[in-house]
Amino acid sequence: MRIALDFDGTYTEHPALWDAFIALAKAHGHTVNVVTLRHPVHDRIGVDRRLEQLGAGIVYCDGRPKHEVAKERGLSYTIWIEDDPRCVHEGSRINEEQLAAWRKNDVHKAPDRREGEKKSPPLHRRS
Ligand SMILES: [Mg+2]
């Protein structure tokens, strides 16, 4: 099976459970990707390295219908695990204002992108 696992409201509800699920699914030869409506830079998730270590790739859809983004990338899934199945074909239904409020309160964001925190310094400086 090729399994698409939602992040917000699904993985985030019980990460240890889903980590075990991913490991078991992989051990049985299945593919699991975390497919999220998040933006790949502004909303990058904080557990991306752990998920990648478990062998679960992450597909960021930036609010677009997940099915559409997956298709563009040559990905297809036989199982979608979702707290809001409409996201698969409809994408995000929140407006810019709601998105800004959501981002401000996002506790699952990668630490270097949290509101009010310094961004990582550039790796190379131009002289
Ligand atoms: Mg969700």
pTM for the full predicted model: 0.85
Question: Which token pair is 124?
Answer: 């190379």
Which pLDDT tens digit goes with each residue over 27-54? 999 999 999 999 999 999 988 889 999 9
In the reported structure, the alpha carbon of residue 113 is separated from the centroid of ligand 1 by a whole-number distance in angstroms of 20
Does domain 2-109 fall under CATH 1.10.260? My reply is no
The model's pLDDT over 65-93, given as tens digits with 9 standing for 90+, comes to 999 999 999 999 999 999 999 999 999 99
Q: Tell how far CA 118 is from the center of its chain.
A: 22
Residues with CB under 5 A from ligand 1 (ion): 6, 8-9, 83
Sheet (strand 2-5) strand order: 57-60, 31-36, 2-5, 79-81
Residue type, 3: I
List the beta bridge partners of residue 45.
109
Ligand 1: distance of its center to the CA of 120 in Å?
28
33 CA → ligand 1 middle, Å:
14
Domain definitions of the chain by residue range: 2-109
Compute the distance from residue 5 Cα to the ligand 1 centre, in Å: 9
| Residue 118 identity (one-letter amino acid) | K
